[in-house]
Copies of this chain bind each other. A is one copy, B any other.
Amino acid sequence: MAEQKNRQFKLAARPVGMVKPSDFEFTVGPVPEPGPGEVLVQVQYISLDPAMRGWMNEGRSYIRPVELGDVMRANGAGRVVASNDPSIAVGDYVTGLTGVQEYAVLAAKSAIKVNPKLAPLPRYLGVLGMTGMTAYFGLLDVGQPQPGDTVVVSAAAGAVGSVVGQIAKIKGCRAVGIAGGAGKCRAVTEEFGFDAAIDYKHEDVRRKLREHCPNGINVYFDNVGGPILEAALANLARKARVVLCGAISQYNATPDQLTGPRNYMSLLVNRARMEGFIVFDYAPRYGEAVRDMAGWLKEGRLKAREDIVEGLENFPSALLKLFTGENLGKLVLRVADE
């Protein structure tokens, strides 16, 4: 183990506008030693999430920013190769905030044990992980969909959006997805089973929403912000719920490029609300969500799709795929063989 090297990506600069490879520094260091109550994990998969862009910024948010020179924060999954805690054994598989590196030390109590025999390891970063939890609690707890409601989701071919639409269908709602390009729209309806898809790159989203949601939108689950949020606000039903999950169109904007929804007063006219949430707040209820999601996966009512990029060294370019809209489903980086 002592001869083993740990390849890492550290935050080298706070990005201005679009994140770029030079914002990270690739380094090689020694494999760390776990202290008391800690485990050493050989990371096999790293989750790539839009939220990571926010963690790179300075300033107050729901989580402290990554400091310059620190390993870039990320969720990861891997195998325990050393343990100083009786609750986790060598050979166990866990997920946790490993960061973008090959070997990570985790506090045993912050590591979540998972079973790769029940589901492929990357799925614990997707549908059965933070992504799935985000879709589940955001839609059900914040969005409060009722059977018969029309639920609209942006970034519908993405990791969270594709799951939101499927849960909406399971709960007896109509699901309309917004995605970029014909291929993604096909996946939204054919693979993920939404009732309709709108291609924002080639269609007038506002008009298409009116067409697909003749009685208005009851729940809008927003991952993108910008003009698509405005198109949804223009089509709300009375007492609609707008769930703020993300705003990927804004994450790489400089302060002067930020835009707010100019028609936010649609919330007043329609007696509607717009509400944000942070998935970490639901940690005490993750078990309930995982039980539901695993059951739906088993019954074939929920389809998981991972988009796997090979090799730690490709981290910066893989992360960029999120912001250029190239991924379909959950974007995961494979760092080591299982």
Binding site for B on A (CB under 8 A): 60-62, 225, 230, 244-247, 250, 258-265, 267-278, 281
Contacts and interface: CB of A to CB of B under 8 A. Distances in A.
Q: Which 5 A-B pairs have the closest CB atoms?
A: A260-B260, A268-B276, A273-B275, A267-B276, A260-B261
A268 B250 CA distance: 13
Given A260-B262, A264-B264, 18 more contacts: A61-B269, A62-B270, A247-B265, A260-B260, A261-B261, A261-B264, A264-B274, A267-B275, A267-B276, A268-B277, A268-B278, A269-B276, A271-B277, A271-B278, A271-B281, A273-B275, A274-B274, A274-B275
Contacts of A273: 273-276
A267 to B, nearest CB: 4
Contacts of A271: 275-278, 281
| Oligomeric state, in copies | 2
A62 B272 CA distance: 12
A232 B229 CA distance: 21
A294 B276 CA distance: 37
A260 B244 CA distance: 15
Nearest to A281: B271
A267 B277 CA distance: 8
Contacts of A269: 60-62, 276, 278
B260 A263 contact: yes
A61 to B, nearest CB: 5
Nearest to A268: B276
A53 to B, nearest CB: 12
Contacts of A268: 62, 244-247, 276-278
B281 A276 contact: no
Contacts of A274: 264, 267, 273-275
A261 B229 CA distance: 13
